[in-house]
Amino acid sequence: MASTRREVIRSLIGSTILASVIGLVHLLLRGRVLDKYPAVRRPYKKTPGLLRPPGALSEPDFLAACIRCYRCQDACEPGAIQFYTESNGKLFHTPYVDPSQAGCTLCNKCGPACPTDALLAFDDKADVDMGSVELREDLCLSYKAKDVRGKQELLMQLGKEPTEVDAVDERRGPCGECYMFCPLRNRAIKLEPGAFLAPIVFTDHCVGCGMCEEICRTVVRGEPAIRVVRTRTMETAA
Ligand code: SF4
Ligand code: SF4
Ligand code: SF4
């Protein structure tokens, strides 16, 4: 009996040591992976200005009409609507969209939920005017893949092996996710013809919903290549 108890204790100690070693190895490996690919929700600097939910009146009228009731947030199923806090002065308790958290899907549910028409429902997504968008090709996986392929072809022509860094970049692209997520696909974003799925933005048709920024910051795991330009300011006239 005593020997059975000793065996159980020995086996428990063995399992604990094994679990600790596995945990340590896991932590080390995870650290190395995260070093290579930073966390998905890594914070990045936002563009200045305001991004109100779709259908918002001009800023002075919106501020006058909004009764800070939070009903638009309750109606927003994707969770895109956030609220300013005390630290934001007169914006306190008014809604905004933050694509670094969640873009607006243009589902058109917040307008009908607003009791004061500070937010208005829209008939066509293309009529919304939340903001605009800009694309940085130097951060875009598709443009990087295109660039890497060009460099690799050049290295091969020179009889040299592609570099390891180039191989890593090539594995991560092409992408084209912003195109897939854009509610105004083929109007606000099109893809360049060819295999690289490189996006081209049409700012005249972009409504600034931020869906492209939300997905881009996820796939690039850091500063997004495509991001909303907040064209509305506190002084935006009626
Ligand atoms: S539902 Fe309308 S009034 Fe209420 S917080 Fe939202 S925008 Fe303001
Ligand atoms: S989601 Fe970002 S990385 Fe991917 S194609 Fe669009 S801009 Fe480029
Ligand atoms: S380009 Fe981006 S911000 Fe503009 S409509 Fe498409 S998803 Fe929205």
Domain ranges of the chain: 1-36, 59-129, 134-229
Best mutation site among 52, 57, 59, 66 for ligand 1, i.e. most ligand atoms within 8 A of its Cβ?
A: 66
Assign 3-class secondary structure to the chain: CHHHHHHHHHHHHHHHHHHHHHHHHHHHHHHHHHHHCCCCCCCCCCCCCECCCCCECCHHHHHHHCCCCCHHHHHCCCCCEEECCHHHHHHCCCEEECCCCCCCCCCCCHHHHCCCCCECCCCCHHHCCCCEEEECCCCCHHHHHHHHHHHHHHHHHCCCCCCHHHHHHHHHCCCCHHHHHCCCECCCEEECCCCCCCEEECCCCCCCCCHHHHHHHHHCCCCCCEEEECCECCCCCC
Residues with CB under 6 A from ligand 1: 66-72, 95, 113-114, 116, 118-119
pLDDT digits (tens, 9 = 90+) for 171-204: 566 899 999 999 999 999 999 998 889 999 999 9
**Going residue by residue through the chain (238 aa), what tens digit of pLDDT does each one get?**
455 556 655 655 555 555 455 445 444 444 444 444 444 566 787 788 999 999 999 999 999 999 999 999 999 999 999 999 999 999 999 999 999 999 999 999 999 999 999 999 999 999 999 999 999 999 999 998 887 776 767 767 777 776 655 555 555 668 999 999 999 999 999 999 988 899 999 999 999 999 999 999 989 888 899 999 999 988 654 4
**Ligand 3 in contact with 176 (CB < 6 A)?**
no
**From the CA of 94, how far away is ligand 3's center (Å)?**
23
**From the CA of 185, how far away is ligand 3's center (Å)?**
8
Residues with CB under 6 A from ligand 2: 135, 140-142, 175-178, 199, 215-216, 219-220, 225-226
**Ligand 3 in contact with 54 (CB < 6 A)?**
no
pLDDT of 17 reads 59
**pTM attached to this predicted model:** 0.77
Q: Whose CA is nearest to atom 2 of ligand 3?
A: 212
**From the CA of 23, how far away is ligand 1's center (Å)?**
48
**From the CA of 209, how far away is ligand 3's center (Å)?**
5
Domain 59-129 belongs to what architecture? Answer: 2-Layer Sandwich (3.30)
pLDDT of 134 reads 96
pLDDT of 45 reads 79
**From the CA of 229, how far away is ligand 1's center (Å)?**
23
